[in-house]
Amino acid sequence: MEIGAIEDYPPAAAEDRHSFERLGYEAGLVIPLASGNEVLGSLSYLCSDQPVHWDGHRLARLRLIAEIFGAALARQHAEDALVGSEVLKTAILGSLASGVAVLDREGRVIAMNERWSSLARDSGLEWANTSIGADLLARARTAGTREAERVVEGSLAVLSGELLRCVVPHTAATAQGPRFWVMSIHPLDRPEGGAVMTSAEITERKRAELDAQAARAELAHMARVATLGELASSFAHQLNQPLTAIVANAQAGRRMLASGDRSGEVPTVLEDIAADGLRAGTVILRLREMLRKDDPQPVSIDVAALVQDVAGLVANDALIREVNVRLSLPPTPLTVRGDRIQLQQAMLNVLMNAFEAVAEGTDGRLVEVDAHATGGHGVLIEVSDTGPGLPVPATRIFEAFYTTKTWGWVWACRSSGRSWRRTADPSVPPTIRGAAPS
Amino acid sequence: MTDVATVFVVDDDHSVRRSLARLLKSVGYRVESFASAADFLAGARGSVPACALIDVRMPDRSGFDLFQELQERCPGLPVIFITGHGDIAMSERAIKGGASDFLVKPVDESVLLAAVERALASSGARLMSGGGG
């Protein structure tokens, strides 16, 4: 803005003119101090004794001075911003509950917070207890532990862009019990690349997860015990049969020996006794397996054989309840991968529910089980009964402890990725379907 | 007819059938074994004296159902029930229905043989189907 004399002020700037006059200025020049498109301030030249003609030469030199001042001001602002940014970054890193270490693309530490070092010490990962400038990945390589190897592999994959994220859990035994940490590695979002590593202790959460897992396992075990209680009669019958044969054979064998074993049948009698003993042992083994409290063990399971096994388990119950059980199974194995006990328990529960569903009818108490492969995607097991059908909404049967019975429990099963659902067609008998991936 | 006492053993469990038959034969009885009520009705031949040792719980047709039919087709054939599920109600039902005895598995030979002896002593039965003896 150029003011050569007081009269140069336009009428619209009367107030500014008045101020100019009051201060005793005759002429003035104001040049903005800019950096790019940003105005950082202004440089003013004021003359109080006479009007000034701001010619081009004078203006050029004064603009040059303004540029120099503008550049210096811009540099100062940039430095102030940088310091402010560093202060903010340090404050943020220092405030985090997690440990943070920032790496450049070579794996050297370019920033970290105090929490990173303290967590490294607490978790026993001494290779991670380092300082800015250190080659963290080189230190991890020398550690020789499986976790350190995984951190190196994951970091390299993140730095190269192969992975978007890597998580490495770590457990340490302490006098107070195991403690759990997790280290996450993410890409650093800047053109030069790099990675951000965070470390956090998750002991409380992990213990809660383990407690919940143990509670679920205990509940599943209680469910198996409850079901086996309902099948006590079946198990007793299954044991009684071989025991009856053993007793009768032993008594017959004794008589044969007393009479000189003229028929030569005693060896056969003994073989039969041994076979029935093993048969009884198998029943007890099956009982023990169902009462087992182990963690789920995924193995290959022949679903057709398992269905026949479970049908055999409940055969006596079916007999007592006068329920016909019809199995439609292929002659070849139907293989899936899963926990045998869980699948067995689920099958058992569904069959027992079906038996109870048909109990009130007097004619045609029928439960049908159909198992078949589903075109490469697994095995489908369908259990239909001639009972009154499922309540609406049928999905409620999957709620824990939901029952329409006036006594006992209804157990349905949804676990390990397998789902059990009712058919939608009301014209067909109520059907529970389970799909097990192969 | 034959003078050798015959015991019909009807039980769906192969080992039980075989072992009971073996025990009864070792004492000198003639034994015919059947895996189901239908097999028994179709295959048993008339014999005096005779008795039937019948399992209560069998697939397709229970021992009680078979007993009811035997009372019409073969009155006088003593029936001894044998079961692994014995309870008081079931034993009452069996005895009040006319059964000779009610035994619980596993059964001691002395109990079994005594029951068979009593049953055979009262036997005057002749099966009215499955051929003559």
Question: Which DSSP symbol is given to A418?
Answer: B
Sign for the CA dihedral angle at A227, A231, A236, A241 comes to negative
Residues on chain B touching A325 (C-beta within 8 angstroms): none
pLDDT digits (tens, 9 = 90+) for A131-189: 999 999 999 999 988 889 999 999 999 999 999 999 999 988 888 888 999 999 999 99
The CB density around residue A115, as the number of other CB atoms within 10 Å, is 20
Q: At a CB cut-off of 8 Å and minimum separation 6, what does A418 contact?
A: A338, A343, A346, A434, A435, A436, A437
When scoring A239, A244, A279, A283 by the number of chain B Cβ atoms within 10 A, the one with the most, hence best to mutate, is A244
- The topology under which CATH files domain B6-121 is Rossmann fold (3.40.50)
Is CATH 3.30.1180.20 correct for A2-91?
A: no
A46 touches chain B (CB under 8 A): no
Q: At a CB cut-off of 8 Å and minimum separation 6, what does A70 contact?
A: A32, A33, A34, A35, A40, A41
Long-range contacts of A420-428 (CB under 8 A, 24+ apart): A420/A346, A420/A350, A421/A394, A421/A395, A422/A390, A422/A394, A422/A397, A426/A389, A428/A384
- Sort strands A379-385 and A419-422 into parallel, antiparallel or unpaired: unpaired
Which residues face A38 on adjacent strands? A35
Residue linked to tokens 């380092």: A130
Same fold, A97-201 and A296-438: no
Domain boundaries, chain A: 2-91, 97-201, 209-295, 296-438
Residue A185 in 3-state DSSP?
strand
Question: Which DSSP symbol is given to A127?
Answer: G
The sheet carrying B50-55 orders its strands as B30-34, B6-10, B50-55, B79-83, B101-104
User: Which tokens hold the place of A396?
Assistant: 């409620």
The sheet carrying A166-174 orders its strands as A109-112, A99-103, A195-201, A177-187, A166-174
A311 touches chain B (CB under 8 A): no
Nearest to A241 among B16, B22, B108 (CB): B16
User: Which tokens hold the place of A161?
Assistant: 């862009």
The CB density around residue A435, as the number of other CB atoms within 10 Å, is 17
Nearest to A243 among B23, B57, B106 (CB): B106
User: Which tokens hold the place of A202?
Assistant: 């998750």
Report the distance separating Cα A195 and Cα A105, nearest Å. Answer: 7
Let me know: does A102 contact A196? Beta carbons within 8 Å. yes
Identify the CA nearest to A317 among candidates A355, A264, A372: A355
Contact A241 B22 (CB under 8 A): no
Long-range contacts of A118-122 (CB under 8 A, 24+ apart): A119/A181, A119/A199, A119/A200, A119/A201, A120/A199, A122/A179, A122/A201
* Domain A97-201 -> CATH class: alpha beta
- Per the prediction, chain A carries an average pLDDT of 83
Report the distance separating Cα A151 and Cα A166, nearest Å. Answer: 8
A279 touches chain B (CB under 8 A): yes
Let me know: does A6 contact A17? Beta carbons within 8 Å. yes
CB contact residues (below 8 A), chain A span 183-242, against chain B: 233, 236-237, 240-242
Query: What are the start-end ranges of the H helices in chain B?
Result: 14-27, 37-43, 63-73, 88-96, 109-121
Report the distance separating Cα A299 and Cα A436, nearest Å. Answer: 13
Shortest distance between the Cα of B70 and any Cα of chain A, in A, equals: 21
Element (H, E) at A157: helix A146-159
User: Which tokens hold the place of A35?
Assistant: 């950096």
Contact A244 B84 (CB under 8 A): yes
Q: How many CA atoms lie within 13 A of A43 on its CB side?
A: 17
Per-position pLDDT tens, chain A of length 438: 787 777 888 888 888 888 888 888 878 888 888 878 888 888 888 888 888 888 888 889 988 998 898 889 889 988 998 899 889 988 888 898 899 999 999 999 999 999 999 999 888 888 999 999 999 999 999 998 888 999 999 999 999 999 999 999 998 888 888 899 999 999 999 999 999 999 999 999 988 988 888 888 788 778 777 777 777 877 888 899 999 999 999 999 999 999 998 889 999 999 999 999 999 998 888 888 777 766 667 888 888 888 988 888 888 788 777 888 899 998 888 888 888 888 888 888 888 888 888 876 666 788 999 988 887 667 888 888 887 766 655 565 555 555 555 433 333 343 333 444 444 344 445 566 665 655
Q: What pLDDT, on a 0 to 100 scale, did the predictor assign at position A401? A: 52
Q: Is A138 exposed, middle or buried (0-12, 13-18, 19+ CB in 10 A)?
A: middle
CATH number attached to the domain at A296-438:
3.30.565.10
ipTM above 0.90, yes or no: no
Residues on chain A touching B58 (C-beta within 8 angstroms): 319
Residue B121 in 3-state DSSP?
helix
Report the distance separating Cα A403 and Cα A228, nearest Å. Answer: 19
- Helix A232-258 / helix B109-121 crossing angle, nearest 10 deg: 80
